[in-house]
Amino acid sequence: MNKKEATAIENETTPSDQEIEFQRTLSQDKRNLAALLGMAEIKADQGDDRAANAFYKAALNMVNAGTSFADNLRPKLQQAQEFLASAQGRFESYLLLQLDQAGVSGKETPLPIRQALDLLMGRREIYYQNPSMFYYPGMPQREFYERHEFPWLAEIEAAIPDMRNELQSVIADTNKFNPYVESDPSRPQPNNPLLDSSDWGAYYFWRSGEPQSDHLAKCPRTVAALERAPIPQIKERSPMALYSVLEPGTHIAPHFGLLNTRLICHIPLMLPSDCALRVGSETRPWKDGETLIFDDSFEHEAWNRSQERRVILLFEIWRPEISEQEQAALTTIFESINQYQKPVEI
């Protein structure tokens, strides 16, 4: 046993008079800021990072909640912040070393493990699905899905050059796109800064399940590629596929999608720099030739901070976790919702 280990054991088994005094103070006033900081400092000197973390965090939480403090404690509060940052680095290095020794490290580390470490280290917040219309229980809480999980996607991405050519033809005829968010006089108006604005534009191939015949005719190769995707077929709802257009400097504010029974696919066709999509706690830029697949029932937002137009091909697919039997039942539910209280034609 080395001297440091012996000292740590001695300190642990025989508290100093100062530590006993701090403990006595905290037993009478658990929110005594000076005592919390004093205990943290003692535990840090003993090499007990976990205990020091707990006391320092308790002290800083009180300050963040508005607890007043004497000026002489200000250096100790700064010391608390510096210690927590340093201790977190030591803790993460220890965990990564253990994973490496277990044969799991770097790119071999499963994505959920990496995300869990980000949560543990405070680099990531926890978000949950919160669809605005319909919640289907039991779906994985995953913001993004990976391209390799969808074997049919490679054939669609192979058609991207043809899609881009068709998009250019559309743009030659359509300089200004219709707004994605449009007002409806029969419904309350959404509180959306892009309401009736073509800064977030749309060019639909199918809208609420209805084919847009002239648009489909102009883009036959795009339409043929989309036939490979498991797009829902729900009367008055799906298919849904469109060019989603963000003009320069446009920001789509954080919002939630309607359902968690689907995933949204984005294929970038016109992609300037400084464009990205945040879903939950993760932000990803679009990349040429690569589809982004995400669950829009999480809070999400997007932006185009460039000076050029951004255009993606957007379409929805069934979640892969939902069986054909479930798809059929959900289709019945959604079509019944549409039909409920509609006037009966005579």
So what's the pLDDT on residue 343?
64
Q: How far is CA 193 from CA 254, 308, 314, 328, in A?
A: 11, 20, 21, 37
> What span, in angstroms and rounded, lies between the C-alpha atoms of 113 and 104?
10
- The whole model's pTM is what? 0.79
> What span, in angstroms and rounded, lies between the C-alpha atoms of 43 and 26?
15
Chain centre to alpha carbon of residue 111: 14
| The one-letter amino acid at 289 | G
> What span, in angstroms and rounded, lies between the C-alpha atoms of 70 and 267?
57
The SS3 call for residue 252 is strand
Task: Give yes or no for a cis peptide into 254 (omega within 30° of 0).
Answer: no
Question: Residue 176 is inside which H or E element, if any?
Answer: none
> What span, in angstroms and rounded, lies between the C-alpha atoms of 68 and 80?
16
> What span, in angstroms and rounded, lies between the C-alpha atoms of 314 and 268?
9
> What span, in angstroms and rounded, lies between the C-alpha atoms of 265 and 302?
14
> What span, in angstroms and rounded, lies between the C-alpha atoms of 52 and 58?
10
Q: How far is CA 183 from CA 59, 131, 224, in A?
A: 50, 21, 32
Q: What is the DSSP string of 91-139?
A: HHHHHHHHHHHTT--GGGS-HHHHHHHHHHTTSS-------SSB--TT-
Residue indicated by tokens 């070393």: 97
So what's the pLDDT on residue 165?
97
So what's the pLDDT on residue 1?
46
> What span, in angstroms and rounded, lies between the C-alpha atoms of 53 and 14?
21
261 touches 224 (CB < 8 A): no
Q: What is the DSSP string of 30-87?
A: TT-HHHHHHHHHHHHHTT-HHHHHHHHHHHHHHHHTT----GGGHHHHHHHHHHHHHH
pLDDT (tens digit, 0 to 9) for every residue of the chain, 346 residues total? Answer: 444 445 555 555 578 888 889 899 989 998 898 999 999 999 999 889 888 889 988 898 988 888 888 889 899 899 999 988 888 888 888 888 888 888 877 767 787 888 888 888 888 889 999 999 999 999 999 999 999 999 999 999 999 999 999 999 999 998 789 999 998 887 888 888 899 999 999 999 999 999 999 999 999 999 999 999 999 999 999 999 999 999 999 999 999 999 999 999 999 999 999 999 999 999 999 999 999 999 999 999 999 999 999 999 999 999 999 999 999 999 999 999 988 867 655 5
Query: Which value, in Å, is the radius of gyration of the alpha carbons in the chain?
Result: 28
Question: Residue 217 is inside which H or E element, if any?
Answer: helix 213-218
So what's the pLDDT on residue 346?
54
Rounded to 10 deg, the angle between the 49-64 and 33-45 helix axes is 160
275 touches 310 (CB < 8 A): yes
Structure tokens at 147: 């391209």
